[in-house]
Chain A
Amino acid sequence: MSDNLTLPEQQGATGTSVETLLEVEGLTKHFPIYGGFPIKRKVGAVQAVDGVDLTVGVGESVGLVGESGCGKSTTGRLITRLLEPTGGKISYAGQDITHASRRQLAPVRSEIQMIFQDPYSSLNPRQTVGTIIKSPMEVNGINPEGGREKKVRELLELVGLNPEHYNRFPHEFSGGQRQRIGVARALALNPKLIVADEPVSALDVSIQAQVVNLLQKVQEEMGIAFLFIAHDLAVVRHFSQRVAVMYLGKVVEVGDRDSIYNRPRHPYTHALLSAVPEVAVDDEADDKERIRLAGDVPSPIHPPSGCRFRTRCWKAQDKCASEEPPLIQLSGNREGHLTACHFPEDPTTEPRAEDVVMDPALKALEDGETEEPAAKTAGD
């Protein structure tokens, strides 16, 4: 399997030509809900992930983006096999690992690692930094040259921490530093794929960029493939070669970075993009389309029929309720840019003739005061 590590031409803009490392097909996870008295029985299921297709190439960084509760973490946990999939197939380097047991998984275990969202609960408070980073090597019986301690110190240095912190305890570190320790732990096994579940969401904004830069450095220098989970498009913008947008347990649009950010087709991607707070880097920044969605994500217990986005979509028609849109390449899209929508938007992010404001209250407000629209931000 070591020949997988041939570095692909990473900058290939479409990112679809690289050798596939991870392939996920129709991945499904339903959490059963039990209820009833006096005998408990299954009364329903949270359809947290419902038919996700995704590929990650060798050394490629893929962003997985969606609102809170849409099943991103569940997808990540399924891929790292922390959860047992209800259906679908996960193959890693050509090997089917969908239902592999711990023993069967052993050979590839070390190659798929995870970075967690919460830096406060992802490090054992009773272990020193050294022990934390060393443990994965112990479990897998890896004895690097010069001993494990030396390797740990190298890793600490790599992630921007003082190697002398070896004997310290997690409570002595700030959130950003803890997240670096988490990165070092994930790197201890020389993985080929890292699933990073919102690695910076819990951090201070000023620290976020540092950690993202660190991850980017790691990804580029070591050729590690990343599945970077985030809840908005801003964080993954400079990091990911490809981006998948998730909504309520399904991937609704996937494509290379350029396609997603500049030529999005799915209405939900448009909405997400318009919510990205833009620092005025270039003059295009201000004349972006404005979309304000109304309401919450529907419950994953009873998702809407047909297209799941239809309850919040401004283009929804009867067909959307009856027929589920397939994830396909629309005409005019680049190869690998797939969209699941019956009535896709134009591939542009130019401002529209009229802003899409779905929230009735916000709409009334905006109609009242016609001027100074710039002061308004999304109702989160």
Chain B
Amino acid sequence: MTSPTKAEGSGPSVALDPELASTTEADKPKKLEGRSPGQLMWQRFRRDRTGMISAGVVIFFFVVSALAPVISSLYGKNPYTLYAQEPDYPFLLDDFAMPTGTFGGVSGEFWFGVEPKLGRDVFTMLLYGIRNSLYMALVLTTLCVVTGVLIGLVSGYFGGKVDYWLGRVTDFFLSFPNQLFFIAFMPIVTAMFVSPTDETPTYLRVVAIILVMWFLGWMSLARLVRGSVLSLREREFVEAAKVSGASRWRIVRKEILPNVVTPILVQATYTLPSSILNIAFLSFVGVGLVEPTPDWGRMFAIGADTYEQDPAFLLFPGAALVIFILAFNLLGDSVRDAFDPKTGR
């Protein structure tokens, strides 16, 4: 939390004495609208070049995945067609089902090359893979944030027994080994919806992935929010609200929540990239999305199979992932610095 005193020191704010204020107010009426903590934060953020660049990269990824259908129709290909079998593109793959062209088959037709074995277009595969991962990660992050904030708020504000039991539940979930749990429970969760002998529709797989990861994704935020609320609850402005007769709900909504937005936002910017990594991990080990749905994580699985013959295939999905995760984490750091100029580093 930015303490007000700190904010005063770092921002170019003016603090006049009432006596002085009454004499000098006439000549600067334009300055009087005041800057909110949010505006100050935005100013600090804009001065942070790393933050601005990573924000640009992140926005670029979001725009590209939102526009994936448009881009691929302009580009004239899709991620499902096996171009090696199309008569238009002879000799796309050699006898060993590896791309014939240089560098994984990169050409004017296939910007990022051709997939080994099946001969699909890497560019659109990646495009849609990123799109699917991002959407899932967004939904997942939203769910985790909402759950974490709710649980954190309740246990922090109400305290006592409620806090104790919610705390134990949080501890319990924290003690699960994440990745083992994901792998073990994905089939179980899917089986809850469809019988294992039938084919699972893609949307169900998506729901299952999100459910399983949501289950173990909300705890860190709940703890964070609980801690902030615990300290805010004792602040005198909360007591002032109580003295004025405000209900508990109003106090939580108007007095406490606006003050925990900062840590929530910062935490969310860290949660999203880690969700992407987790989703990719699931697909990589084969319990996430399956063929033919394009998926970022599964491209690594394909690449891992053939990297000795066709190392170029891994380059584009790998670089995209590294750039995205890096940019998002840097963005998270910058957001935190902008909110809290005195902490960190």
Contacts and interface: CB of A to CB of B under 8 A. Distances in A.
B21 A120 contact: no
Interface in B210-265: 235-237, 239-247, 250, 254-255, 258-259
Contact of B8 (A110, A165, A167, A172): A172
B236 A117 contact: yes
Interface in A158-214: 160-162, 164-165, 167-174, 176-177, 180, 182, 185, 189, 207, 210
A377 interface: no
B236 A118 contact: yes
A116 B240 contact: yes
B4 to A, nearest CB: 4
B102 interface: no
A126 B245 contact: no
A80 interface: yes
A110 B15 contact: no
A272 interface: no
B34 interface: yes
Interface stretch (B25-33, B126-134, B150-158, B279-287): B25-33
Contacts of B16: 174, 177
B15 A120 contact: no
A298 interface: no
B237 A169 contact: no
A121 B235 contact: yes
Best-buried of A124, A136, A210 by chain B (most CB within 10 Å): A124
Interface in A68-104: 77, 80, 82, 102
Contact of A116 (B8, B34, B236, B250): B236
Contacts of B29: 164
Nearest to A197: B236
A110 B18 contact: no
A77 B250 CA distance: 21
Interface residues of A, number: 49
A121 B22 CA distance: 25
Interface string A108-147: 0110111011101111111110001001100110000000
B244 A169 contact: no
A61 B225 CA distance: 42
A122 B13 CA distance: 20
B7 A185 contact: no
Nearest to A206: B17
B340 to A, nearest CB: 13
Nearest to B32: A164
Contact of B240 (A122, A126, A170): A122
Contacts of B258: 124, 126-127
B4 A189 contact: no
Contacts of B25: 162, 164
A378 interface: no
B231 to A, nearest CB: 10
Given A125-B37, A135-B254, A177 B17 contact: yes
Contact of A171 (B8, B244, B250): B8
A172 B243 contact: no
Nearest to B256: A124
B195 interface: no
A160 B16 CA distance: 12
Interface residues of B, number: 40
Most buried by A among B2, B241, B243, B247: B243
Interface in B32-52: 32-37
Nearest to A136: B244
B241 A176 contact: no
A171 B241 contact: no
Contacts of A128: 34, 36
Contacts of B242: 82
B3 to A, nearest CB: 8
B46 to A, nearest CB: 19
Contacts of A116: 236, 239-240
A126 B21 CA distance: 23
A180 B37 contact: no
A33 interface: no
B251 to A, nearest CB: 10
Residue with the highest number of chain B CB atoms closer than 10 Å, among A109, A126, A168, A180: A126
Contacts of A121: 235-237
Contacts of B2: 125
A82 B4 contact: no
Given A162-B25, A174-B15, A109 B240 contact: no
A171 B29 CA distance: 19
A106 interface: yes
Nearest to B4: A171
A230 B144 CA distance: 47
A122 B237 CA distance: 4
B245 to A, nearest CB: 4
Name the residue among A112, A171, A174, A185 with the largest chain B CB count within 10 angstroms: A171
Nearest to A128: B34
A110 B33 contact: no
Nearest to B7: A171
A80 B259 contact: no
18 contacts: A105-B245, A109-B243, A112-B243, A122-B236, A124-B255, A126-B259, A132-B237, A140-B245, A162-B22, A162-B25, A162-B32, A165-B32, A172-B14, A172-B34, A174-B15, A177-B17, A177-B18, A207-B17
Interface of A: 77, 80, 82, 102, 105-106, 109-110, 112-114, 116-118, 120-128, 132, 135-136, 139-140, 160-162, 164-165, 167-174, 176-177, 180, 182, 185, 189, 207, 210
A-B pairs, 9 with minimum CB distance: A168-B34, A136-B244, A122-B236, A109-B245, A126-B258, A116-B236, A171-B4, A171-B7, A124-B237
Given A110-B244, A126-B37, A171-B4, 11 more contacts: A121-B235, A121-B237, A124-B259, A126-B36, A135-B244, A139-B250, A160-B22, A167-B32, A168-B33, A177-B21, A180-B18
